[in-house]
Amino acid sequence: MKVVGINDGHNAAACLYEDGHVVAAIQEERLRRVKNSFMDTRS
């Protein structure tokens, strides 16, 4: 079974589990390259 976990808070992140094992995980700050940044969605 595949499960996607999403945290849409201050430190947004997502994780993919498959059969009880972490397949992939990422945090927003790794994509933006800014620690504890706030993403402005007004565009």
Higher pLDDT, 32 or 42: 32
- Written as one string, the DSSP assignment of the chain is -EEEEEE-STT-EEEEEETTEEEEEEEHHHHHT-TT-------
Whether residue 42 is predicted with pLDDT greater than 60 in this model: the reply is: no
Tell me the mean pLDDT in the region 14-37. 83
Among 6-10, 25-29, 39-43, the minimum mean pLDDT is found in 39-43
Inform me whether the pLDDT recorded for 40 exceeds 60.
Answer: no
Which distant-in-sequence residues (6+ apart) come within 8 Å of 7 by Cβ? 13, 14
pTM of the predicted model over 0.85: no
- What's the mean pLDDT in 18-28? 91
